[in-house]
Amino acid sequence: MDDKLVIAGQELSSRLFIGTGKFHSHRVIPEVINRSGAQVVTVALRRVNLDYPEENMLNYIPDGCIIMPNTSGARNAEEAVRIARIARAACGSNWIKIEVINDNKYLLPDNYETIKATEILVKEGFIVLPYMSPDLIDARRLRDAGAAAVMPLGAPIGTNKGLKARELIKIMIDEIDLPVIVDAGLGRPSHAAEAMEMGAAAVLVNTAIATADDPVAMAEAFSLAVKAGRMAYLAGMGAVKEYAEASSPLTGFLR
Amino acid sequence: MSFYDVYLKYKGFDFEGFLNSVTDSQIMKILSKEKLNDLDFLALLSDKAKEYLEPMAIKARQLTLKNFGRAILLYTPLYLSNYCVNQCAYCGFNCKNKIARKKLSLDEVRKEAEAIASTGLKHILILTGESRKHTPVSYIKSCVEVLKDYFSSISIEVYPLDTEEYAELIEAGVDGLTLYQETYDDELYMEVHLKGPKRNYRYRLDAPERACMASMRCVNIGALLGLNDWQKEAFFTGLHASYLQDKYPDVEISVSLPRLRPHFGNFTPRSPVSDKDLVQIMLAIRLFMPRAGITISTRERPQLRDNLIGLGVTKLSAGSSTQVGGHAIEDKGDGQFDIADTRSVAQIRDMLYSKGFQPVFKDWQAI
């Protein structure tokens, strides 16, 4: 089955993106990436430590992966833009995940500032993947600003609650002609499968994999769930029905 | 509105009556809640809650892992000066104490910075006593200029400043503030702060908020545990943190739990805080504020610090010295207090790895 995800002209065979922030050691990251087959890996610039090779996350990401730095720590568009520019130089990647958060209690993204940052960074030649609160109108604005994909949260980051924003994300998938990547809140492989069955282009997972007792095995479990969910979506699932449907229909006598 | 209004709301509260009335069913209900209110938090500081430390710890561990992952930020203090005009009964820098006073020259700051940076640390906390004559804001600013070459995050723990002064230091490259109220009890505050500008309770109480207004990135508060009844102090610390987090959601708020340590002088803590009390405070704060940072410094001994990993702590100091020039200068000034965990940065790093946690050396990038 030829089912490639294409972002900014790049063909990706894996629809599982991995976050790197919460692992017990950088040393586990190569195996997590290899076992999951992930090709896109996000790294917070704030954690990139070029002065200390042993502690530098970038040294643990296998060749061939696309490094997508993120702007974690940015409180507004201006800070996101500044972080993105430093990240491009530090990580040697044109991809950027814009993350603008000015609410430390719930860590919800600020869509307004995210749109402003996207407008600027697209013009500077970045491949911009904005992290956002699920909202169709803002997703359209991001598309118009030139975003390469949109990344709505499934639930507040780190909560492992699953696809709580399901209805809003569904609308985005139906209406936006950009890849919709569910980022944040997915706590179990079944959550990831659910997002993929619904038609999400990909998912991004960190907490659920990084804080598992066996992160490598959990990464593989997510990978399998993402594949299963995607396959089910492509296969065309039967509709969910409210009532049982008798094999001898009640209105069969009308035929 | 200032946090002082919140303080006044609870100042006359019958803490003893409330804490003694907490029941098992109350605690069990609180443990099943996702969002705790002020009095839920207070109930978790009761003697009754002490019987529930294990379930509290399990929940605190889950919350900490979800919010911060298996990662602990490392930093170290750098004492710039121990000149002080205050007379704080509990502090080694008390101006009446006959100790070796010293202020680092900028060259010495560079030497200290080089020594600290060679351990891999990228987060530094700079400290002074309170002396606008010896260590004015302009001096702190000059030190920050030097330190920027070595560190990606610079926090200050200095005397309280005006909003404009905080803004000036942020502009210079400071991104974090640590400021302890010492005690939230305004009467006791006057008793232990015998002389000096520090006697202005309100000015100190509102300082973290002034830093938030100036757009400080991280603000860390705390009470000096041992000065007063710890349940009240922990309660007000949590309320203060929560007040700041609600009002300034763009600032990362964190809490330190410093216990009084032996120091030059003869002050005896009025209300000693046991290890069990300290753990209870930390767990209650984590349950009340799942997103708050929690710092445990080298005031605590290795065995205790190691066991707190994973329960709520997000930041640890390492390779610490409270002496002025303690890292690389031969002619040192005397220290503020004795530290209990003298392990090097490498030893703390190895300990974290052995416990399944990642030591984070860099978690900010000056932009």
B90: which DSSP letter?
T
User: In angstroms, what separates the C-alpha of B101 from chain A's closest C-alpha?
Assistant: 34
Chain A nearest-CA distance from B114, in A, is: 13
At A63, the amino acid letter reads: D
* pLDDT confidence bin for B182, thresholds 50/70/90: very high
Q: What is the mean pLDDT of residues B83-110?
A: 86
Residue A240 belongs to a domain:
no
Could you give the angle at the alpha carbon of B294 between the alpha carbons of B292 and B299, nearest 5°? 160
* A146-160: pLDDT as tens digits: 999 999 999 888 788
Phi, psi of A5 (to 5 degrees): -90, 130
B259-265 average pLDDT score:
74
Say how many C-beta atoms besides its own lie within 10 A of residue B222's C-beta. Answer: 23
Q: Is residue A107 part of a domain?
A: yes
Identify the pLDDT of residue A115. 98
Q: How far is CA A169 from CA A160, A200, A234, in A?
A: 17, 8, 18
CA–CA separation, A252 and A240 (whole Å): 22
Query: Which residue of A lies nearest to B250 if distances are taken between CA atoms?
Result: A102
Q: Which residues of B touch A47 (CB under 8 A)?
A: 360, 362-363
pLDDT at position A159, please? 82
Measure B354 CA to nearest chain A CA, in Å: 10
Kindly report the pTM of this predicted structure: 0.89
Q: How much is the average pLDDT of A27-38?
A: 92
User: What is residue B324's predicted lDDT score, i.e. its pLDDT?
Assistant: 85
Inside any domain, residue A43: yes
In one-letter notation, the amino acid at residue B229 is D
Taking only the tens place, the pLDDT of each residue in A99-110 is 999 998 889 999
Domain count, chain A: 1
The whole domain housing A198 covers 5-235
Q: Please report which helix (H) or strand (E) contains residue B263, including its range.
A: none
Would A202 be classed as within a structural domain? yes
Mean pLDDT of B174-184: 96
Choice among A22, A97, A105, A170 that is catalytic: A97
Is A244 domain-assigned?
no
**pLDDT higher than threshold 90 for residue A82:** yes
User: What is the reported pLDDT for A2?
Assistant: 67
CATH of the domain at A12: 3.20.20.70
Least confident stretch, A134-138, A204-208, B138-142, B325-329: B325-329
SS3 content of chain A, % helix, strand, coil (to 5): 40, 20, 40
pLDDT at position B268 over 80:
no
pLDDT digits (tens, 9 = 90+) for A236-251: 876 666 677 777 777 7
pLDDT of residue A105: 86
The rounded distance, in Å, linking the Cα atoms of B294 and B308 is 11
Mean pLDDT, chain A, rounded, equals 91
In a domain, residue A250? The reply is no
Mean per-residue pLDDT for B225-229?
A: 92
Give yes or no for residue B180 having a pLDDT over 90: yes
Q: What 3-state class would DSSP assign to B252? A: strand
Determine the residue of chain B that is closest to A82 in CA distance. B367
Q: Tell me the C-alpha distance between A64 and A56, whole Å.
A: 18
Residue A254 lies in a domain: no
Per-residue DSSP letter, A71? -
* Closest partner CB to A104 (pick from B66, B249, B356): B249
* B114/B124 Cα distance (integer angstroms): 12
Question: Is A97 an annotated catalytic residue?
Answer: yes
Give the pLDDT band of residue B37 (cuts 50, 70, 90): very high
Are the Cβ atoms of B364 and A73 closer than 8 angstroms?
A: yes
Reported as a single tens digit per residue, the pLDDT across B112-141 is: 999 999 999 999 999 999 889 999 999 999
Note the pLDDT tens digit of each residue in B307-350.
999 889 999 999 888 888 888 888 877 777 778 889 999 999 99
Q: Do A83 and B250 touch (CB under 8 A)?
A: no
Q: Is the pLDDT of residue B264 over 80?
A: no
Mean predicted lDDT score pLDDT of chain B: 92
Q: Looking at the partner chain, which of A23, A82, A103 has a beta carbon nearest the beta carbon of B367?
A: A82
User: Do the domain assignments include residue A249?
Assistant: no
pLDDT cut 70: percent of chain B above it: 99
What is the CB neighbour count within 10 angstroms for residue B276?
10
**Hey, which residues does B294 pair with through a beta bridge?**
B255
> Residue B340: its pLDDT value, please?
86
Q: Which residues of B125-158 are buried (b: 16+ CB within 10 A; e: fewer)?
A: bbbbbbbeebbebebbbebbebbeebbbbbbbbb
Pairing assessment for the beta strands B218-223 and B252-256 based on DSSP bridges: parallel
Residue B30 has pLDDT above 60, yes or no: yes
Assess whether pLDDT exceeds 70 at residue A255.
Answer: no
Please report, rounded to a whole number, the percentage of residues in chain B having pLDDT higher than 90: 76
